[in-house]
Amino acid sequence: MAVIVGGYAPADLVRDSDDPSLMINGAGDFEVISTGLGTFVYVAGGTYTDSHPGDNGLTVFQVASDGTLTAVQNLSHGGGLALRLIDNMTTATVGGRTFLYIEALNDNFLYPHGITCFEVGADGRLTYLYREEPSPEAPLLGGFGDIQSVTVGGTTFVYMHVEGQDPGTPFGSLIDVVNLFRVGPMAN
């Protein structure tokens, strides 16, 4: 018997075609979060065609001890959730609460990108909290950037790098912006 160091063996395979409710077609990013009730994988689907308009969203899977995946929640774009073509996700934990931040498109093509924030429950399920839309103070233009969180001196920040064209200029000049948002107590 050969021993392979650093090798791996597939534990589970989930296909979008296995269950039409899954939002994993064109999966572009994922995050893994452990809570007191288990480990969860958040998979962002990212295709938008006339034949698959519902695959813009997010599926939450619980990971069993043997590595198998069980879908526990599906969230799709629309109905107030801006989850079309999710580019990037990141997590932040503040005061014992875990948040998932998602950078994705909405339905406004002038300033299409924004950050959607969910709170992660102990059961892995997501609760929508708010969406940060573009403004002159936070020009969330472009896309294909990155979103990360960092804690400095006890204060947690989420920052997002975006590249693209500024539709507010006469020639749509190229921009390169880094936005920084403080994570902390919210009004609601």
Q: Alpha-carbon distance 111 to 141, whole Å?
A: 6
Name the band, by pLDDT with cuts 50, 70 and 90, for residue 62. Answer: very high
Q: Quick one: pLDDT at residue 13?
A: 83
Within a domain: 123: yes
Does a structural domain hold residue 8? no
For residue 139, is it within any domain? Answer: yes
Which residues lie across from 99 on neighbouring strands? Answer: 92, 119
Mean pLDDT of the chain: 75
pLDDT in tens, 135-163: 666 655 555 567 778 787 877 877 776 65
In a domain, 1, yes or no: no
- Per DSSP, the residues of the chain read ----TT---------GGG-TT---TT--EEEEEEETTEEEEEEEEE---TT-TT-EEEEEEEEPTTS-EEEEEEEESBTTB--EEEEEEEEEEETTEEEEEEEEE-S-SSS-EEEEEEEEPTTS-EEEEEEE---SSS---SEEEEEEEEEETTEEEEEEEEEEE-TTSTT--EEEEEEEEEE-----
Q: What is the pLDDT of residues 23-52, one digit of tens each?
A: 888 777 889 999 999 999 999 887 655 555
Residue 55 structural domain: 16-183
pLDDT band for position 114 (50/70/90)? confident
- pLDDT tens track for 156-167: 877 776 655 554
Whether 6 maps to a domain, the answer reads no
Domain count along the chain: 1
CATH number at residue 117: 2.120.10.10
Q: Would residue 2 count as lying in a domain? A: no
Q: Please state the rounded mean pLDDT for residues 74-87.
A: 79
Q: Is the pTM of the predicted complex or chain greater than 0.85?
A: no
User: CA triplet 83, 134, 89: central angle to 5 degrees?
Assistant: 40
Burial of 141 (0-12, 13-18, 19+ CB in 10 A): buried
- pLDDT given for residue 22 in this prediction: 87
Residue 66 in domain: yes
Residue 121 lies in a domain: yes
